[in-house]
């Protein structure tokens, strides 16, 4: 019975969520697009001409937002047809419905075959921005969930170390709780500028937060 009440409560909140309604109205696949939008408007992450990699992209709302920002001839925040000024490569283990001007690679980005596809698309260029809205399947066991979240952040950090421009940026999702301080320390070890971000579109009840790292430090 308690589970049913929880499901009903979640469904009620979801249906009445203003960001869900806004996403439906503006054609985004998920309300998560507005989390990236708020952070981008604050930090000016997405600019014409960039190469952007979206890790854990499915269902694709972050790639949709990035695509709209790179649309040729667009004013910031508007959607235009006719291609983009830049490149967006989205990666995920799960399939993703196509998005105009976004190249999707299905697979594990730790595998050489997937990285080879990425390198073929990017060519000799390094990446300007890596974004990751990845989250593990939560078990309810705090220590296990924290370890899974830290592992995903480690993967994004490692990917960025190998593919990001020196003045590039990495934005990842994590949870504020057990293991959070360790993730922040890893960011500080790798980036000169590290800042937490909690957009208004992130639900109040959620411990979800985002960490932004900018400007890679030189490796020892």
Classified as helix, coil or strand, 216 is strand
C-alpha 194/C-alpha 175 separation (Å) is 16
Beta bridge partners, 105, equal: 91
Residue 10, annotated as binding a ligand? no
C-alpha 209/C-alpha 202 separation (Å) is 8
Place of tokens 């999707």: 104
| HEC sequence for 191-215 | EEEEEEECCCCCCCCCCEEEEEEEE
37 counts as catalytic: no
> Which residue among the candidates 75, 173, 198, 200 is catalytic per the annotation?
173
The number of CA neighbours under 13 Å toward the Cβ of 69 is: 24
> Which residue from 42, 66, 44 is spatially nearest to 54, judged by alpha carbons?
66
Structure tokens at 42: 């604050």
Residue 107, annotated as binding a ligand? no
Torsion of CA 37, 40, 94, 23, to 10 degrees: 10
Residue 62, annotated as binding a ligand? yes
Residue 133, annotated as binding a ligand? yes
Structure tokens at 140: 């309810």
Which residues fall in the annotated binding site for S-adenosyl-L-methionine?
Answer: 60, 62, 92, 108, 133
Known binding residues: 60, 62, 92, 108, 133
Q: Which residues are catalytic?
A: 173
């Amino acid at each position: 019975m308690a589970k049913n009440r929880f499901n009903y409560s979640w469904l009620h909140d979801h249906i009445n969520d203003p960001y869900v309604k806004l996403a439906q109205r503006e054609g985004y696949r998920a309300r998560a697009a507005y989390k990236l939008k708020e952070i981008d408007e604050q930090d000016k992450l997405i600019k014409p001409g960039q190469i952007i990699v979206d890790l854990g992209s499915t269902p694709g709302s972050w790639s949709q937002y990035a695509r709209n920002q790179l649309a040729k001839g667009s004013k910031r925040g508007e959607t235009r047809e006719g291609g983009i000024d830049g490149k967006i490569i989205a990666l995920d283990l799960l399939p993703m419905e196509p998005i105009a001007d976004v190249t999707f690679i299905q697979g594990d980005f730790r595998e050489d075959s997937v990285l080879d596809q990425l390198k073929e698309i990017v060519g000799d260029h390094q990446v300007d921005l890596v974004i990751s809205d990845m989250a593990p399947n939560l078990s309810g066991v705090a220590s296990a969930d924290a370890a899974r979240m830290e592992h995903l952040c480690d993967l994004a950090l490692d990917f960025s170390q190998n593919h990001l421009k020196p003045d590039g940026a990495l934005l990842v999702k994590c949870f504020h709780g057990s293991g959070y301080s360790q993730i922040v320390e890893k960011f500080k070890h790798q980036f000169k500028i590290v800042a937490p971000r909690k957009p208004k579109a992130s639900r109040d009840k959620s411990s979800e937060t985002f960490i932004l790292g900018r400007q890679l430090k030189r490796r020892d």
